[in-house]
Amino acid sequence: EQKSFARDEEKSLARDEQSSLARDEQKSFARDEKSLARDEEKSLASDEQRSFDDMCKQFPLLAKEIKVLMEGQPAIMELFPRLDGDQVVAIEKKLENLRWIDMKRKKKMAVKMAKIRKGLIYKLEGAAILADGNMIH
């Protein structure tokens, strides 16, 4: 009977500990939710305050594209800071991916050109040796 009582007490303590942990996790989660909400409010406020220069510094690839568009429509300068932050980040990532693709393409072209030059030099050296050999005779 004492063993049964001890086991019941251990189970009770384990349940209490689990429920205590669950309550702590819920409190932590609630605090995280509140801090996220505050951060979002701050982010929205800061989104409204962003200037064109800040946006250009933060998103340099997109800024280049915006400056090209501004040549035809100067009002775009005022609209750029008003863009949604998530959209701006997505566009910047797309531009970054395109930049990497372009860099890889240029690198492949440079390698191909180097191979062509190497072959050309080899052929020119062969032609020079033949020319020198023909001149001696």
Task: Please give the residue that has the higher pLDDT: either 78 or 103.
Answer: 103
DSSP, res 1: -
* Residue 100 banded pLDDT, cuts 50, 70, 90: very high
The answer to whether the pTM exceeds 0.85 is no
Domain boundaries, the chain: 1-49
Tens-place pLDDT, residues 10-20? 666 666 666 66
* Residue 85 banded pLDDT, cuts 50, 70, 90: confident
Identity (one letter) of the amino acid at 4? S
Reduce the secondary structure of 100-137 to three states and give it as a string. Answer: HHHHHHHHHHHHHHHHHHHHHHHHHHHHHHHHHHHHHC
What is the average per-residue pLDDT within 69-89?
A: 88
Tens-place pLDDT, residues 13-42? 666 666 666 665 665 655 565 665 556 555
Nearest CA-CA partner of 66 in 50, 88, 43, 84: 88
CA 95 – CA 102 distance, rounded (Å): 10
pLDDT at 56: 87
Please report how many Cα atoms fall inside a 13 Å half-sphere around the Cα of residue 101, on the Cβ side: 6
